[in-house]
Amino acid sequence: MSRDVHFIIGASGQLGTEFALALHQAGEAVVLSDIKPPELDALKDLPFECMDVRDRDVVHQQLIESGATHVHHLAAALSARGEKEPQWAWDLNMRGLLNVLESATTSPLVKQVFWPSSIAVFGPDNGPVAAQNGHRLPETVYGMSKQAGEQWCAWFRKHHGLDVRSVRYPGLIGELSAPGGGTTDYAVEVFDHLEGPEPYSCFLSEATTLPMMHMDDAVGAMMQIMSASADQIKNRESYNIQGMSFDPKTLFEEIAKHDPGFKAAFAPDFRQSIADGWPDRVDDSAARADWGWSPRST
Ligand code: AKB
């Protein structure tokens, strides 16, 4: 029997870097792809294809030539950058996803596709806790692209039988790779300012509670949903997954316990209104019941 090959699109990004490393360390065959090579030394000797996911022919060719059995499409424009460059973000997020879904249906070896959605699918009308099927009228381009993307995933499942699986990620916090262009980025960015002479200037207000997740759990969720049997995946749009929820003030007080010299100031900018439209936490009981989701850090 031939071996599974995991083709990771966006492998040089925040989640892609950590996921590629975890799969590689688990002994899986991986092919990395992105518009730029991975920065992490541990990934530099792995097969890498320079690829723009917006190029339909190249995506198709790469899935065939790599012998991909599993495709993990992690390349996306995030919420804050998406508000600054809406057409670019919509094009990258939607054209990229459609290229991957279409190519996967016509690549005979592909068995499964993973694509991350986001808490950004929720609009401001959910109250603090977003239910699995909570109100989804997102107010950002990023959220709109994730909401539409979820429906495309369900459509490809229904009309082409494609085994595509998805979770709605909150803000991700890891140490190996930086986020870029998101609204939850402050929770990683602050750690780069610990030694600085100036107080860290946070772009969200001190009481802005958002759902967040440790990278180990984010990678674990992907591994877990991909290894569940197809009949466990009853939702073919995307599953809520909850890790922890906190606000900047709570995080900074915790940091100050370890680094008494740490100081922060608050200067909310346009990202505040993005965060204000998102829930404080999500109800992940469907993911727990259907495929046994259980985070380690809460
Ligand atoms: C962002 O802040 O845009 C992302 C997300 C919550 O999907 N981290």
Task: Tell me what percent of the residues of the chain surpass a pLDDT of 90.
Answer: 93
Encoded amino acid at 45, one letter: D
Residue 1 has pLDDT above 70, yes or no: no
How far is the C-alpha of 152 from the C-alpha of 146, rounded, in Å? 10
- Give the residue carrying structure tokens 């799969």: 23
CATH of the domain at 14: 3.40.50.720
Measured in Å, residue 292 CA sits from the centre of ligand 1 at 24
The boundaries of the domain holding residue 23 are: 5-172+211-243+278-291
Return the residue whose CA atom lies nearest to atom 8 of ligand 1. Answer: 171
Q: How many domains does the chain have?
A: 1
* Residue 70, CA distances (Å) to 37, 101, 202, 245 in order: 20, 12, 38, 31
CB 135 within 8 A of CB 126: yes
Flag whether 287 is in a domain.
yes
- Give residue-wise pLDDT tens across range 107-119: 999 999 999 999 9
pLDDT of residue 2: 67
Q: Return the SS3 of 154.
A: helix
Report the nearest atom of ligand 1 relative to the CA of 210: 6
Per-residue pLDDT reduced to its tens digit, 170-224: 999 999 999 999 999 999 999 998 887 899 999 999 999 999 999 999 999 999 9
User: Do 142 and 117 touch, CB atoms closer than 8 A?
Assistant: no
Residues contacting residue 125 through CB under 8 Å, at least 6 positions apart: 135, 137
pLDDT digits (tens, 9 = 90+) for 224-245: 999 999 999 999 999 999 999 9
Tell me if 230 is assigned to some domain: yes
pTM: 0.97
Q: What DSSP line would sit under 167-234, residue for residue? A: EEE-EEE-SSS---S-SSTHHHHGGGGTT-SSPEEESS-TT--EEEEEHHHHHHHHHHHHHS-GGG--
pLDDT score recorded for residue 230: 96
- Whether residue 218 contacts residue 177, with contact meaning beta carbons closer than 8 Å, is answered with no
Tokens of 30: 């991986």
In a domain, 37, yes or no: yes
Pocket test for ligand 1, best of 183, 203, 208, 241 (most atoms within 8 A of CB): 183
Domain assignment present for 179 = no
In this prediction, residue 212 carries a pLDDT of 98
For ligand 1, atom 7, the nearest C-alpha belongs to 118
Ligand 1 centroid to Cα of residue 6, in Å, is: 24
Amino acid found at 35: I
Q: For residues 150 and 262, what is the distance between their CA atoms, to the nearest angstrom?
A: 41
Q: How far apart are CA 75 and CA 97, in angstroms?
A: 9
The predicted-structure confidence for 6-65, as pLDDT tens digits, reads as follows 999 999 999 999 999 999 999 999 999 999 999 999 999 999 999 999 999 999 999 999
Residue 270 belongs to a domain = no
In a domain, 267, yes or no: no
Residues 6+ apart with CB under 8 A from 229: none
Structure token pair of residue 199:
């107080």
Per-residue pLDDT band for 288 (boundaries 50, 70, 90) equals very high
Residue 107 included in any domain = yes
CB distance 62 to 198 below 8 Å: no
Question: If you search the block for the tokens 């730029």, which residue do you land on?
Answer: 36
Question: In whole angstroms, what separates CA 42 from the centre of its chain?
Answer: 21
14, 74, 79, best to mutate for ligand 1 pocket (most atoms within 8 Å of CB): 79
> Does residue 181 sit within a domain?
no
**pLDDT tens track for 48-96:** 999 999 999 999 999 999 999 999 999 999 999 999 999 999 999 999 9
The residue with tokens 């892609």 is 16
Ligand 1 pocket residues where CB is under 6 Å: 78-79, 118-120, 142, 169-171, 182-184
**Contact yes or no for 210/171 (Cβ under 8 A):** yes
The rounded Å distance from CA 18 to ligand 1 centre is 16
Residues designated catalytic: 142
